[in-house]
Amino acid sequence: MRKKQGTKIGFLGPWGTYSQEALFKLLPVREDDIVPYPTEADVIRAVERGEVEAGVVPIENSIEGSVNVTLDVLAFETSLYIQKEVIIPISHNLIARPGVKLEDITTIVSHPQPIAQCRRYLSTKLPNASIEFANSTAAAVKLVSEQNQPMAAIGTKLAADLYGLSIIDSGIEDFEGNQTRFVLIGKDLTKRTGHDKTSIVCFIFVDRPGSLLQILQEFAYRYINLTKIQSRPTKKALGDYCFFIDFEGHIEDEVVESVLKCLKCKIREVKILGSYPMADGVES
């Protein structure tokens, strides 16, 4: 996607989130052209309604896996496409009001993903602190800035600076090399670049032995490399699942056209979530 003059881009807000950082790496935008939304679902639905041209949301983390709300809204609620992806390193900070010390903290607040990514640190350093969830890391930091209680947030340095807070500890994620993949969501499919990835959802007719094997064989026969596979409930009945698959190639590639054609003959539905340029490693 090439940004047009006056185009508005949505992101998971408020100001100071990792999604905002990812947006600046994905597109050359000004702050006047970006619009924060409170949840991932709100960003995607704003694109669907036409409030913004596109939106940036997290979709996958190297520690905690997929951001399921992003997958579910794309698969079940909208007809949008992934247009671009970026992978950024994630280093979490423990943030509090100036003067608050580690031993003072009674409550930790953040988005569920960072809480999970720092689980070991929190259980070791703050075993008695209660946990509260926020819609984003920046929303958590903003909340802490508005409270007089000894609370702390897990968030970005950018958010700490924006809301006038102090970083008590940094690099608190449980595993080194923590990374999150963010995607740009829009209404149009992206043209082939020659270095692409495609995301699909496969819906089977009925749960039976070999259903997943039938799908995977089509890729194996054509030597198409899968970069991700995940099952998710279809929201219809217990035990009724669909399969999210990412693989190398573009839907305009002859070999990808072939695999999609064969899959459509074997299963109930194949939904295209996007065919887009593959990220070139981790952004600094």
Stretch 249-258: mean pLDDT:
96
Looking at domain 196-277, its CATH architecture is 2-Layer Sandwich (3.30)
CATH architecture observed for domain 9-89+178-186: 3-Layer(aba) Sandwich (3.40)
For residue range 72-122, list pLDDT tens digits in order. 999 999 999 999 999 999 999 999 999 999 999 999 999 999 999 999 999
Domain borders along the chain are 9-89+178-186, 93-170, 196-277
Q: How confident is the model at residue 278 (pLDDT cuts 50, 70, 90)?
A: very high
Q: Give me the percent of the chain exceeding a pLDDT of 90.
A: 81
93-170 matches 9-89+178-186 in CATH topology = yes
93-170: CATH number: 3.40.190.10
Catalytic residues: 180, 182
Q: How far apart are CA 136 and CA 112, in angstroms?
A: 8
